Each structure stands twice: as C-alpha cells, then as structure tokens.
Structure 1
Amino acid sequence: MLDLNGNPATRFDPDQKVWSGCSLQSFYNEDLTVGQIIFRQLQRQPQRIFQISHTDNSRLTRYQMLQNATKIGCYLRDKCFKKETDLVGLMARNSTHVAAVAYGCLFNGTPFHAVNPSLEHNTIASLYKITRPRILCCDVADYEKIKDIGASLEALIITVNGKLPGVMSVADLLQTPLPDDYEPAQFQRGVDRTMAILCSSGTTGTPKAVTLSNSRKLFEMHSYLGPDDVQYAPSTLDWLTGLITLVTAAVFGTVRLISSEIFSTAHFLDLCEQHEVSWTIMANSHVAMLANCPKTNAQKLRSLRHLLFAGGHCLVTTLKKMQSFLHGSGILRNAYGLTEVGTLISYNYDTQSKPASVGRLLANIRVKVVDSSGQLQGPKGLGEILCHNGQLWSGYVGNSQATAEMRDSAGWYHTGDVGYFDEDNYLHIVERKKDMLKYLGMMYYPHEVEEVIAQMPDVAEVCVFGIFREMEGDAAAASVVLRSGSKLEPRHVEQYVRKNISVQFKHLHGGVQFVPQLAKSANGKVNRQAVKAAYLKDATQSKDQFTITTNN
C-alpha cells in the first residue's frame, strides 16, 4: 500500500516504539510452494518469450522453460530427492539452463544451495561441507575447482552450461522424455518449507548457509511487474537480488534477460538499448559507475521504468546525476534488505527529496531501533535496526548458536545495522555494527586479510579496514607495524596478499601504510576506526610514506 506520494505507507506506534508497514493478506494458499505457483504461471501464454540470453543469443518460450524445468524436477523425483536435507548445490553464472535447474528444484520441493563461483576453493568447500548436497551443478569452467569437493561429499557433478567427457550435463537431462501427468510436489504448509539456501557470514567471517522459506514476501512486493516488462539483474542466484529476479519473472510473466558477463557500464547500456530493459536491480556502486560514465545518456536508458539499487548508499550528487538520465521520478529507488529476512525490508521511491534514506517499510514488516543499553528508540533515536517479518525461519544450517544470535526468541532479526527513523517514518542506515566489508559486490572481513599479512616475518601488527570508493565499495587498506630492522616496503605487502589470496576483491586496493603503532582502546584492543582515521589523515599529508593502488 502506497501513500498519496507513491511511497510505502509506514506508521509508528509511540507506545510500543515499533514502526510497521501496511498489513496485506497473501493471495496464495499456504500449502503451496513457490514452485507450484511458478509451475501454474508458466502454463499461461506458452508461446510468449520468457528468457533471452544475451551471451549466446538464445530465446526460450514459457512452454520451453516449463518443459526444461519439469524434466529437472522429474529427474530429482526419480532420484528420491524427498527430504529438505536432499539438496542440490548450484555454483553457476547466469547461463541458459540455470533457471531450469532452479525451477526444477522448486517444482520438486528440493532446496538448492547457491554459492558464488568467484569464492575461494576453501570457502566453497566449507560451505558445501555444511549442507552436503547430493548433486553439485557447476559451469564447465569451474569443474576442476569443484571436482574434489564433489568426490569428498560423494556427490554427483552435473555441468550447467556445456559438456565435458565423462561428466553428466543438464543438456543430457533435457533429452529425457517427459510424462504427461507430471505435477509438482505437494506439502502441508509448503510456505514454511525451505526453498533455497544462500550464503552469508557471521562477525567471525565463518561461512554460514542461510535458509529461505517459500514465503510470498520474496515476490509479492513486486506485483507492479507484468508481461510488458523486461527484467535484468547482474546478480547470480547466490544473491538475494538474483533470486528475487528469478522468481518474479516466472510469477508475473515478464521477460527474463540474462548475461554471463559481469557488470560493466558499457555492457549494461548495450543491454538496455538492445533489449529495452524496463526493470533492474543492481549494487549501489553500479549506479555510481553509470552516473559517472561519459557514455551514459537519457536516450540509452529510455526504456527503464524501475531502477532499484541496494547494498549501500550513494552520494547525493551521484543520485541527482543518475536521475538526470531517467525519464521520470520514482524510477530510481534505494532498497534495503537482508538475506536472512528473505526479502527487501524498505523501499525509497523518493531518492530526490530523501536521498540519504533507504525508505519506508514494506508490507507486513515491523522494525524497532534499540540503542547499546537495550532501550527502544523513537524518531531520530539512533540504535541497531531490529526487523520482524512474521514468518518461519529455519536459521543457518548446522549453526544453532549463530541462528539464535541473528534472530531472538520473539522473532526479531538483529540486522547489525545502526540507524534511525526520521519524522516522516523514513529509515536511515548510518553504519554497519559488524565489521563486514563489501568490494565490487563481494563481501569479506578485515581479519581474513589481516591473518594473511600477519604471516609475513617482518610484520609485528596489522590492522585492515575499508576505504569507501563510490564505484567499487570498501577497498581493503592496511596499517602495518614492522619489526625492528625490517627493510620491507609497502609494495611487498601488497604483492604478498596478491600471491596468497586467490580472489581479487580481498586484495589491498586501498593501499598500505607503515606506522609506529596502532591506535588501541582502553582494554588493549585495536581501534579499527581510529586506525582508519589516522590512515586517511596521513594520506593527505605524506603520500610518500605509503602507496595507494589504483589498478583494481
């Protein structure tokens, strides 16, 4: 429900000190799974184009997608995938048959555990050790990366986007005949059954497997979508935004546009011009890249009616510049969500007059603000954001302690974000309570990089933090205390990290500085914020004491 200005309606209860979005009843029976809903929706207008792959220039009708997904669902049924613990691991980019694999899992009530293929081998192995999928689906390019993981789990490996000698492929499964009487699996209270498992990390950086139920909140907030919309998201299915796009396309009958290429401004502009993209959701850094790209203009973005961004804030000047390329107000929207909640929490349609806000609460969402002493806050009161969505959450797989820390016994999620509501009931996020950083859309923790640098014999102490860059996110930077007599140079630390950390998003893109000591709090712990402040101060005064890497 929207107010007179087109923004989500949010009210504040001054007695309970709780903000609430409007109350809406779902249209769907609670015994239905999302897979059952999608199965019925794909049967409508079977000859309409459902998916376009920009990468291989292929198109699938709704009928073809339904047939392909049903064959995957039949295969899982025949392999006795019946329990919620009978999982499929999915580590793939957005290629032609990824959606069929995901929908097939949903048809059979089989949760898929999506993991980003860009993660390090050890992280991938740790995640799949938690959930122990019986099948691992991967791109041909990542087969060697996952082969030993599959062997250790005794899991079958199936390639998604091509064939390898002696390895089963999705293309092989699609050659099997299909029974005429197939129906998706049915369950009592299918809404509560685990639909998918995405990845997150706790404050220690230990990988966690986040369960998501078959909640309608994943898609019902996007009911404005329809057959005239072309949806595109650069996210793979291990991101909540990728999953939202997958589900909404099927439920609301849009055209799903995919590409296996990573986000770039040139590629996005090309997609918009060629395919008339009307809806997209992207990272805040992508908006900054678009707004500041010399090739961006209103003509190339003329088809956009919904440009959502999430994952952080954008500068006011950037939002104004981006708005100048869009054909109307209300197109550029800031979205705030949490993987554990399984949906977006708030939406800001009004980025022009409220550019620093993440907007008002969506339907059936409640939020309260709690300060460090546990006191509930009213408008303008700063504290941790706690969220309640009124639905079942099965928690983190195999991690009951972290589950209890994230969601308390009353059902409130502890987001780890510090913020406040203004007098118009708009939510503002000030900072992360946790140390998690995000660079080019990939999350990491400072201590992961610190542990590597600390292995250098000449390093006595190290503190890693993020230097925010609007187009990239939190670039890792390090302040290092050297051992007496060391001849080490900043570039040696950067080189050591590049050599010993295989993924680029954890490299020291923010630079290295040598310092005589690290700022510490009264209890002797390193004060990361104070170290960062000193680093930034010195950066403007003595550039010859450290290097800043600009080649990302």
Structure 2
Amino acid sequence: MSYQPKTHYDAVDKIWSSEKEKSQFGEDLSIGEIIFQEMVRHPKSVAQVSDSEKTILLREDLLNNAIRIATYMRNLDLTQRDIVGIIARNTTHISAVAYACFFNGIALHSLNPSYLPEIIEKLFQNTKPRIVFCDGDEYEKVRAATAKLDVKIVTMRNHPKDAISIQEVLKTPAEEGFKPISLKSTHQLAIISSSGTTGTPKAIIVPNCRTILSTFTNLTTLDVQYSASTLDWISCLWTIVSSGVYSTKRIISELPFDPAETLRIIEENQVSWVLQSPGQVAAIINCPDFENASLQSIRYYNFGGGRCSMEVQNRLRQKLGRDFVNFAYGLSETGSLCCVNVHFDAKPNSVGRPSPGYKLKIIDDQGDKLGPNKEGEVCINKGSFWPGYYGNPEATKEIYKDNWLHSGDLGYVDNDGFLYVVERKKDLLKYQSNYYYPHELEELISRMPGVAEVCAFGIWGVENGDEAAATVVRKPNDLISEKDVEDYVAQNAGTEFLRLHAGCLIVDDLRRSPNGKTNRAANKEYFLQAKGIQIIT
C-alpha cells in the first residue's frame, strides 16, 4: 500500500483530488471475472491456509469448489436479482461461497454470527435471501429468524442432523464449460453491515466497482494476507477480493481475535500484510508475547476504523524497525480505502492523501466548502456511483448527495493535501462554554503508564453540559486506580476545563461492536450502569 497518487487542490472549487490509477485488468471485466481468470493463471499456488482447521487449498482447489457451489446455486435457479445470505466464521469454504456469488453475479449479504435473532430477522426480511450459509452453531437461530422466508440453509461447520452441509453442496457436479457472469460496475457485489452503534445495522451495498481494489495494487503473489474479521465487515471483503485478484496467500482462522494467537499466526505463516482495528493493535502491543515476537515478514501493517494512540503507533513502529505501519481511512459506504498514510514521520496522525481517483472536500454546517486547515465535515467522491443502503432510500439520501458521501466525520486537509480526521461529528462535546473531543482525553490518558486502552465520552447534565468520563483497561499486572487516572488527567491536561468530571471506570475490556471496533455508546451505557447514574433531561 505504498503507492501515493499525485494530489491536486482546486483553490476555486476547494476540492482535493488524486489522479486515477491505470487499471491492470480489462475495464469490461467484473470482479468475479478477474478473480476467475487469475485463479486459472496460478492453479498450483497456495490460495488459503486455515490455521484453526489445518487445511490448505491451492488456487485450483478453491476455484473448483467455488464453481461447484456456483453450479449448485444455478441449479436452484438463482439469478442476479436474488441474494445469498451468510452468517459464518472464517472456515475453510467461506471464500469459495463468496467467489461463487461473485461468479454468478449474485450479491452476498453477510451478517455477524453474534447478532440477535430479531436483528437477523429484520435484516433478512429486507434483503430476502433465497439461501443462507451459516455455521451449525447458529443454525437454530437462523432457522427461527428466517421462518417467514422461503429459504434454504446450508451449514459450514458443526452440522446439525437435519441441515444441508457444505460438503453435500461440494459434491455438485460442475457445470460443463462454466464461465462467470459479466456485470456492470453499478451492479451490487456484496451487502455488508454498518457498525450498528445507533440501532439496527444498515445494509450497505458494495458495487461491482474497480475502486474496491484501490490501494491494493502493490500486492504480489509473494504476499501473505491476514485479517481476523468476518465477512460481514468490509476489511474481510477487501481481503477476500484482493487475495483472489492478486493471487496472494490468505491465512484464516475460525477463532475470534486473540493477540497472542495473532502474533503466532504472523510468525509461523510469514504474514506480510495485516489489517486490524485500533483496539486490536493496542491488544497486540500490550500482549506479553509482543516483545519476543518476530514480525520481520510484515511489509504492510494497516489499521483503521478509529483512532490509535501515538504511544501504540510508536511502539509498533519501533518493533517493526521500519515504516510499515499505515493509518488507513475508509468507509464501508465507499467500499474501499479513501486514504492511506505512508508518511508517518512527516505527517503523524494524518490518514494520508486521497486514494487514486478520489476527491475530498470539507464543508461547514451550512454546506459551504472550506479551504486548507479549516475544520468541517469530510465529504468523499470516489468517482463512481454508490447504490446506497439496500431497501432504505431515505437513509441513503441523508448521506449521499450529488455523488458525494457525507461521512459524518469532522476533519481538515493541510497545505500538503493530507487529511486529518478529528472526530465523529456527533461526538463533539461541550462542557459549560468549552468544546472538546473525546479523543483529546483518550490521547492524554493513553500516555499514562499502566493504561492499555481507553474510551472517553460525555455524560450530559443540565448544569454543566457534557461532563467527561472514561472507561480504562489496565495493562497486565498493573494496579492503577480510577482516582489515579482522574488525577493524571488533572495534572497533565493542557486546559483547565478538560477533566474527568464524571469520573473513571476500570474495566477488563472495552465494549466493542461485532467487528471489533470500540463502541463508544456501549461503553457509555456500561459506565452509567456500573456507576448507577441516571441521565436527567
């Protein structure tokens, strides 16, 4: 991900843009067609290694499995108007299911296995999948949630007696002369879930658009990719697509993220490409095994989806011994990484310049465009059409206007065209007459010896407004107290008002969304419950 396009600033229109990258593949080919042809080209290279199941698939094995699953779908008369549901962990055959969907031009709709039955029912009532691939662990939950739908359920592991197993599907004879379907770039490739921190997750359409490959073009057949996220999250979709397109080796595990296991996986498999959330990076560097772990194989250590403290970034860079740590910025709605910062020393905490073909603008509350170093809402134009949220045109219109995605993030662009994302717009807080951001406290507290992770938020009160509070995870074997944290903030904050007026809570771990991102709303709710605080409006 070291490619950095030239950035141009139009001082009249106040828009930053980057040059479009020359395509390595025919413009008329769909993502499925590219993956198909590349798997045919490299049949004997290793496509996938399952660390947890101890399975190895060559590209010809994965291709043949995907063709059989795609044929099974065609035998069910599934067409491009249909949807395939997925609620599964990273097991051996989940990539083949995804590729089968790409080959058939059928959008997959992936949900997290931890979702409650009522959430699954609501989301699938929207997309109405004809077939759902799920783990046997969730079979009864999925069957109950889809009872009102005409749906076939296939299990990927731990198969119940009355379920169709993936092994049965893989016995389907491949269609003679099988060819993938051609698609327009506006056709839906996948439907993934938003973080769902403010209610039921939205169904985000990712189109069959070449921009999904943006910033991945430096990958080669020698690269080994690893990401712990499941297919309901954009990072897993990126990994599955880029692995198929660029013929890399992909390492998977059905087990949830564990820092010690991740370090072992990286070392044993000589992983060169990693994509993690900031919480996962923090867990890695605070793991007892971190100091002795070998990370010399890594060429790209990417993190995104939130802020990562400078202490964590510096410790990781010091360990790697070279500048392979990249702060990435992307939205599930864009379907690709909007920016990647490969200039840490010159621009720490920037998310980088616009990715190839992207445009950026910063607007104020009135919608007027702002120039360099002026803070406002970050808006993104990726140069292609976004279909929106599936079955939710109202929500689509709220953030997608005249081909510009309104991110809801506050930020600014400096004189060199580097974007800095400051905070979510809705997270801006006000104590008495003073405005502040949660990340200011998080950055301060993260520098305190003994702190592993922190999540800050405001507790609203009639008299003062948003009184700051924080949940804090201690480093292993450290005994800092809540008062220690409060005193540290009071002694080290740069302003008189920036204090933990609502207090601190020591926790074993932060509350997170199913994709591993820190869930500020959930941490705030837990804090209120633990402290017995009731919000009076």
TM-score range, shorter chain: 0.7 to 0.9
Partner of 1:439: none
Encode CA deviations 1:196-224: one digit per residue, 9 max, x unaligned.
00112688534311111111111242111
Tell me the distance in 2 between the aligned counterparts of 1:182 and 1:73: 9
Task: Name the CA shift for 1:520/1:151 in 2 (closer, same or farther; >3 Å).
Answer: farther
- Indicate whether 1:181 and 2:117 are aligned: no
SS of the aligned residue for 1:95 comes to coil
SS of the aligned residue for 1:357 comes to coil
Whether contact under 8 Å (1:320, 1:352) holds in the other structure is no
SS of the aligned residue for 2:320 comes to coil
Whether contact under 8 Å (2:34, 2:245) holds in the other structure is yes
Task: Name the CA shift for 1:185/1:162 in 2 (closer, same or farther; >3 Å).
Answer: farther
Find the partner of 1:58 among 47, 55, 60.
Answer: 55
Q: Map of 1:317-332 to 2, 5 A cutoff?
A: 317-329=311-323, 331-332=324-325
Q: Aligned-residue CA RMSD in angstroms? A: 2.9
SS of the aligned residue for 1:548 comes to strand
Percent of residue pairs identical: 35
Task: Name the CA shift for 1:335/1:520 in 2 (closer, same or farther; >3 Å).
Answer: farther
Shift of residue 520 of structure 1? 6.8
1:266 maps to a residue whose letter is: A
SS of the aligned residue for 1:419 comes to strand
- Indicate whether 1:372 and 2:365 are aligned: yes
TM (normalized to structure 1)? 0.80
Encode CA deviations 1:496-548: one digit per residue, 9 max, x unaligned.
xxxxxxxxxxxxxxxxxxxxx82379xxxxx5xx13369999983799x9782
TM (normalized to structure 2)? 0.82
SS of the aligned residue for 2:372 comes to coil
- Number of positions where the alignment pairs a residue of Structure 1 with one of Structure 2: 472
SS of the aligned residue for 1:374 comes to coil
Q: Map of 1:48-447 to 2, 5 A cutoff?
A: 48-84=45-81, 86-187=82-183, 190-200=184-194, 205-297=199-291, 300-329=294-323, 331-408=324-401, 410-434=402-426
Partner of 1:44: 41
Whether contact under 8 Å (1:162, 1:171) holds in the other structure is no
Task: Name the CA shift for 1:25/1:81 in 2 (closer, same or farther; >3 Å).
Answer: same
Task: Name the CA shift for 1:474/1:195 in 2 (closer, same or farther; >3 Å).
Answer: farther
Find the partner of 1:26 among 23, 35, 41.
Answer: 23
Tell me the distance in 1 between the aligned counterparts of 2:395 and 2:45: 45
Shift of residue 171 of structure 1? 1.0
Shift of residue 361 of structure 1? 0.8
Q: Which moved more, 1:116-125 or 1:277-286?
A: 116-125
- Indicate whether 1:13 and 2:5 are aligned: no
SS of the aligned residue for 1:242 comes to helix
Tell me the distance in 2 between the aligned counterparts of 1:106 and 1:195: 7
SS of the aligned residue for 1:285 comes to helix
Tell me the distance in 2 between the aligned counterparts of 1:87 and 1:63: 26
Task: Name the CA shift for 1:139/1:520 in 2 (closer, same or farther; >3 Å).
Answer: farther
Tell me the distance in 2 between the aligned counterparts of 1:30 and 1:353: 36
Task: Name the CA shift for 1:299/1:478 in 2 (closer, same or farther; >3 Å).
Answer: closer
Tell me the distance in 2 between the aligned counterparts of 1:100 and 1:293: 33
Whether contact under 8 Å (1:97, 1:161) holds in the other structure is no
Tell me the distance in 1 between the aligned counterparts of 2:95 and 2:351: 30
Task: Name the CA shift for 1:386/1:298 in 2 (closer, same or farther; >3 Å).
Answer: farther
Tell me the distance in 1 between the aligned counterparts of 2:307 and 2:236: 20
Contiguous gaps of at least 5 residues in structure 1: 437-464, 480-516, 522-526
Tell me the distance in 2 between the aligned counterparts of 1:78 and 1:118: 31
Task: Name the CA shift for 1:46/1:384 in 2 (closer, same or farther; >3 Å).
Answer: same
Shift of residue 327 of structure 1? 3.8
Partner of 1:532: 468
Tell me the distance in 2 between the aligned counterparts of 1:434 and 1:278: 36
Task: Name the CA shift for 1:302/1:151 in 2 (closer, same or farther; >3 Å).
Answer: same
Whether contact under 8 Å (1:203, 1:434) holds in the other structure is no
Whether contact under 8 Å (2:471, 2:506) holds in the other structure is no
Partner of 1:451: none
Find the partner of 2:461 among 511, 518, 533.
Answer: 518
SS of the aligned residue for 1:43 comes to helix
- Indicate whether 1:551 and 2:508 are aligned: yes
